Every structure is written in structure tokens, then in C-alpha cells.
Structure 1
């Protein structure tokens, strides 16, 4: 110890170092938690991107089509269903129902007619 110094100087230095250590530990903990949140967000963004673009098949894991390819498939199926619901050249389900209705009316006419 210095002849003019007291034990209080070393105690003050110890308190300052402990405070600095506590601040560094708190900052490290906050950065750790922030890093976890950033990783979780990045994982979700990656999952969304894979769903949107689709994935290639891997060994043991089947591939998946992207959103746009699946929407195209839905539109094609919807077009086929719409074709069946509108009268056309006689091959749609609507035409078959209309034929059955006409035949049924000939066999048993409605009481209203």
C-alpha cells in the first residue's frame, strides 16, 4: 500500500471492477437472448421461403412443390370442375342431369305443370 493511501482506495477499485464485470455480464446475456430471437426469426423466414419456393427431394424426404406450382394445379382442377357444371356438348355432368330431369318429367310430370 502507498503511505498516503487507505484501504478505501482498493475497496473503491474493487467496487468499480465488480460493477464493470456485472455490466459486461448483463450485456452478454442480452446479446445472447437477442441472438436467440434473431435465429428463431431466421428459421421462420427460411421455412416460409422453402414453402413458397418448394424443396427438392432428398434421400428419405420427398420434395414439395412451391406455392405457385400448387396454385396452378388448383386452377387446373377448378377449370375441370367448372366444365362439368356448365352445359356444353352433352358430355358434362350438368348435361347428364338435364337429360335425367327431362326423362323424369316425361315419365312423371310435376303436379304444377
Structure 2
């Protein structure tokens, strides 16, 4: 009968070791997942704020700086669009539309002559 309590003690220790090992494995996976999440958050923050240049790597502007650049480009595109729109409507005779109307009128006159 002396062998049975020793077997119970071994089973108890094996159970404790398995439980501690399982808890450590779960804790390791949780910490690894949390580190990956924090790395992704760090990447988002670096994209948001931008990164200064360092040797061999150019600087990356942040989101707000890039949005400001988009505003500047949109202003330039708005000016260009205004110039194009000016050419599409008849005005003082200098627009493309006026030139097309003149050519159309001349063609119509030439077409009517027998």
C-alpha cells in the first residue's frame, strides 16, 4: 500500500506541472498577440505623425502634411478647370467654342452655295 500514495503524489505533481505549463502557454500567446497589436498601433501612429529622415531612408510626411499637399493640388486643378471651362462657353470671341462656332458658320455658308 505504500506505492499508491507515491503514485498519487506523482499524478498530483504531473497535473500541477501540466496546469502551470498550460497557463504559461496561454499567457505566452496572449503576450505575443498583445505585442503584435501594439506593433500595429505603433505603425498607425508612425503613419499618422510621419517619420523624420535618417541615413539612407527619406523622411515620410504625416497624414496632416499629406492632406495639406492635396489641398494645394486641388487649388491648382481648380484653376486649370476654370480655364478649360472658359474655353467651352462662348465669350468675347477668343474661346475654343467661339472658334468652333465660326468654323461651323463658314462651313454652313460654303455648303449653301450652288
Q: TM-score, normalised by structure 1?
A: 0.81
Please say if 1:51 is aligned against 2:47: yes
Match of 1:100 among 78, 82, 96: 96
Write out aligned runs for 1:3-42 (5 A).
6-42=2-38
- Displacement after TM superposition at 1:96 (Å): 4.0
Please list the CA deviations of residues 47-105 of structure 1 after superposition, one character each: whole Å capped at 9, or x if unmatched. Answer: 1001000000011111100001100100111111112222xxxxx23334540110121
The structure with the greater share of residues assigned to helix is: 2
Q: TM-score, normalised by structure 2?
A: 0.81
* Root-mean-square deviation over aligned CA pairs: 1.8
1:89 matched to which residue of 2? none
- Runs (4+) off by over 2 Å: 92-98
- Displacement after TM superposition at 1:39 (Å): 1.0
Q: What is the count of residue pairs matched by the alignment?
A: 102
Structure 1 spans left out of the alignment, 5+ residues: 87-91
